[in-house]
Structure 1
Amino acid sequence: MAIERVPTPAGDEAWLVTGYDLVKALLADRGLGRSHPDPDTAARFTDSVVLGGPSRGTAEEDDERHTWMRRMLSPQFSAKNVEAMRPRVRHLVATLLDDLVAGPQPADFHEAVAFPLPVLVICELLGVPYEDRDRFRVWSEAMSTLGDRERSLDGFAKLWAYMGELVARKKDEPGDDVLTRMIEASPASREEEIAQLGAGLLFAGHETTVSAIDRGVVLLGENPARWDALRRDPEGIPDIVEEILRHRSLVSRKAEKSGVPRYALTDLDVDGVRVPAGDLVLLGVDQANRDEERFPDPAAFLPRRPNPHLSFGHGHRFCLGAPLARVELAELLRALVTRFTAFGPAVDVVQLRLRTEQLVGGVAELPVRWTAV
């Protein structure tokens, strides 16, 4: 059955949905949402403030906030605007790789490239000072902590306060950036929401992409034939990017009983099972991306496969940052296969230390070795 009752990491119960077709349909179903009529008693997915429990307010208020957010951000994150950023992303990749190869081998790719690249990009896009990265990195990691509610809340509060100060500063010192454009397009009553949205964008704009970049390096290191093929034909990069986004590896290992949390806004029939209003539903995107009926031999790394993965969601909440993540991954891969004849982990993948206490997961370090062209 594609739906079952499971315990959550927070100790509550939820419905887990795993079949590809069902997960895709429910991602677009407006009968599921982020709100709950009684948020204090609602089942929680984790103790993290990020997707751990319901949003505050009614379903109508949540929908209004989401509609406003997409209206503000869709033009900024459009495929056309993101494509215009490609030369800048390419330059940042080249600079980071120059610094990497200037040092000894093995080197920590996670710290030298995977983390700073998305942070540099999202900072420039939002108008956040890159020199503050060590501060908001600590807060981002705290807010996505799974098992410590107080630490998660404290991290989010500090990141939100930081963004509030930045929003206030940009009112007097506007820039050519997303935060400034949101401020100029919104009434003063929206400033607190802009700060909260900015905090979420800063978090989401680097955390998930960092993990995908590390995962891509590991997958190509585990599949040298794919690396060689990509060096011969870099035009295969878009297919490689999509398979990296779909694929599950050790560096993205998640609990089998997890998914994207939503709450039933009304009684629902899900695959013949009655889900009462208010129940927590976990949409198993990771499991759907490994559904054998949609992705034959799902454990294999097969870039040429048809790849309608759900890693960015589906429907009205489809991830706005998808074009940006794809550009960052593509430009990094293009630089790697152009500059190196070999590039990959310097240790066995099972030796990598996983970030098991963080919502996004990934690795804490990624030692790599390379052979330059």
Structure 2
Amino acid sequence: MTQSAEEAPETTQYPQFPMKRTCPFSEPDEYAGFRASDPVSRATLKVNGKPTWLVTKHEDVKQVLGDARVSSNLKLPGYPHQFHIPEEMLAQVRLMLLSMDPPDHTAQRRMLIPEFTARRVKEMRPRIQEIVDEQIDAMLASGGPVDLVTALALPLPSLVICELLGVPYEDHAQFEEWSAAMMNHDLSPEEYGAAVQGLDMYLDKLVTAKESEPGDDLISRFIEKNRVEQVADHVDVVTMARLMLVGGHETTANMIALGVLALLEHPEQRKAVQEDPSLLPHAIEELLRTFSISDSGTARVALEDIEVGGTTIRAGEGILALNNAANHDEAVFPDAGTLDIHRKEARSHLAFGYGIHQCIGANLARVELEVVYGTLLSRIPGLRLATPVEELRFKDDAMVYGVYELPVTW
């Protein structure tokens, strides 16, 4: 097996990261202890034995994510990689939007922002509603029980992002397989590299075709803008498309399934939303806070010495600003372990990140969640789990938290 670029002797005196959630509706148990006694603490990365800093308080996470003295560049020494990345592969990696720093990040993000404004997403809502209705029609026609992940949670965002990007949906099974592999902490370097290479080869052909014959889609519009702006080359466009494709369906699909699970397991909260649909947008913010599914997607490395929460982080040291820990900080969210759709401070969550790298697709994700939750609860009011929650398989091995299957009936 190829040696990882981050390989080092295990640092046994530090707790290992990632840490498992013992309850799907909360944070790992260790986080509360960190916030109370050591909010900027050391840990060892399970994947390679390297040390990193864990930042767990809401104000400290915001500070790190808004600080120009930290970098998102995954090629820098000290960056806290959470996958087995071969050294030769890391050297060849083309940085994507999430791992860029200004000015490159600023230039590419500015080109993409018009695709995800509130106005643009509002225009997409009728099509999102149509897709949700079609999937629920199929569910009702087949009768329960059905797996909500394959019947609704995955097809909706996959269809939406495919239509937005101009990716043929008939290829979804293959790119969903690559995407799932790329999110798995436990893959070998060879398996991880094969997934990235497979998806990039697929997107390379797609981008090449759109460079010759552009269509009415995000990738084509990016290519056309870039002919003037010249902020990206062909490989940059492929890398951007990979980020949009994977990020556009993986996170939302997991939030759809987990949100439905939470509402089914909290019937009083579900009933309140069914009786007063105006509560739904607020309920979504609380669900996003509760699950914080991309907990460690905010990896950084210090460019110079910085002080966070009274602790000095040295230049070159890796940092994980944990949004799940921040979103359960009792100083900001009293009784944080309780799901409360009436919570006034819910929108202060950091589930979409913070600062210049805040999720560009947040508006789209919110609309997809609002449409799918609202339609599902109104059209199938008797929806219930077909398998006890204790028997569900959760994605403890993945970069984005979720549930593998969600059997439901009515």
Residue aligning to 1:338:
378
Equivalent residue number for residue 165 of structure 1? 205
Aligned to 1:16: 54
Please name the residue that 2:247 is paired with.
204
Specify the alignment match of 1:238 in structure 2: 281
Residues 138-191 of structure 1: CA deviation (Å, up to 9, x unaligned): 111122221222211211111112111101111222211000001111148612
Amino acid at match of 1:9: K
CA shift for structure 1 position 136: 0.6
Contact 2:94-2:236 at 8 Å conserved across structures: no
Residues 168-187 of structure 1 mapped to structure 2, 5 A cutoff:
168-187=208-227
The RMSD of aligned alpha carbons is 2.2
Structural mapping, 1:198-347, within 5 Å? 198-248=241-291, 260-305=298-343, 306-307=345-346, 308-347=348-387
Distance 1:347 1:61, change over 3 A: closer
1:65 aligns to what? 104
CA spacing shift, 1:140–1:238, aligned 2, 3 Å: same
Aligned pair 1:29/2:44, yes or no?
Answer: no
User: Which digits, 9 at most, give the CA deviation of each residue in 1:4-27, with x for residues without a partner?
Assistant: 011112221101000011111211
Give the whole-Å Cα distance in 2 for the aligned partners of 1:190 and 1:253.
29
Matched position secondary structure for 1:282: strand
Residues in 2 aligned to 1:2 and 1:9: alpha-carbon distance in whole angstroms: 20
Asked whether 1:98 is paired with 2:137, we answer: yes
> Do 2:70 and 2:300's aligned partners in 1 also have CA atoms closer than 8 Å?
yes
Task: Among all aligned residue pairs of Structure 1 and Structure 2, give the percentage whose two residues are the same amino acid.
Answer: 38
Deviations for 1:277-319, whole angstroms, at most 9, x for unmatched residues?
1100010100000001111111111111121100001111111
Question: What is the CA deviation profile of residues 98-147 of structure 1, one whole-angstrom value per residue up to 9, with x for unaligned ones?
Answer: 01111131110000100010000000001100001011111111222212
Q: Deviations over 1:248-273 (max 9, x none)?
A: 39xx597xxx5621000111111221
Aligned to 2:160: 121
Deviation for aligned residue 1:358: 2.0
Taking the aligned partners of 2:310 and 2:153, their CA distance within structure 1 comes to 43
1:152 counterpart letter in structure 2: Y
User: How big is each residue's C-alpha offset from its partner over 1:319-373, in whole Å with a ceiling of 9 and x where there is no partner?
Assistant: 1000000000000111012212222322221211122322113111110012xxx
- Distance in 2 (alpha carbons) for counterparts of 1:119 and 1:73: 19
Other-structure match for 1:42: 78
Q: Which residue identity lines up with residue 407 of structure 2 in the other structure? A: P
148-157 or 325-334, which deviates more? 148-157
Following superposition, the deviation at residue 64 of structure 1 comes to 2.9
Hey, what does 2:39 align to over in structure 1?
A: 2
Check conservation: 1:31, 1:265, Cα contact below 8 A.
yes
User: How far apart are the structure 2 equivalents of 1:3 and 1:127?
Assistant: 43
8 Å contact from structure 1 (residues 46, 147) kept in 2: no
Structure 1 pair 48–286 and aligned structure 2 pair: CA distance change class (3 A): farther
Any idea what SS the aligned residue of 1:124 has?
helix
Could you tell me how far apart the structure 2 residues matched to 1:34 and 1:315 are? 12
Unaligned runs of 5+ in 2: 1-37
Counterparts of 1:61 and 1:129 in 2: how far apart (Å)?
A: 28
Structure 1 CA distance, aligned partners of 2:297 and 2:178? 24
Deviations 1:203-223 (A, max 9, x none): 000101111101111100011
Partner of 2:291, secondary structure, is: coil
Give the paired residue count. 359
Q: Specify the alignment match of 2:23 in structure 1.
A: none
Gap change, CA 1:133 and 1:91, over 3 Å in 2: same
Whichever residue aligns with residue 358 of structure 1, its letter is A
SS in 2 for 1:6: strand
Which stretches of structure 1, 4 residues or longer, exceed 3 Å deviation after superposition? 41-45, 53-57
The 1:69–1:260 alpha-carbon spacing in structure 2 relative to 1, beyond 3 Å, is same
Aligned residue in 1 for 2:397: 357
Q: 8 Å contact 1:12–1:43 — kept in the other structure?
A: no
1:220–1:344 contact (8 Å) kept in structure 2: no
**Partner letter of residue 42 of structure 2?**
R
Q: Is the 8 A contact 2:79 2:319 kept in 1?
A: no
Paired residues of 1:240 and 1:303 also in contact (CA < 8 A): yes
Match of 1:76, SS state, is: helix
Equivalent-residue separation in structure 1 for 2:297 and 2:51 (angstroms)? 13
Which residue of 176, 180, 189 corresponds with 1:137?
A: 176
One-letter amino acid matched to 1:42: G
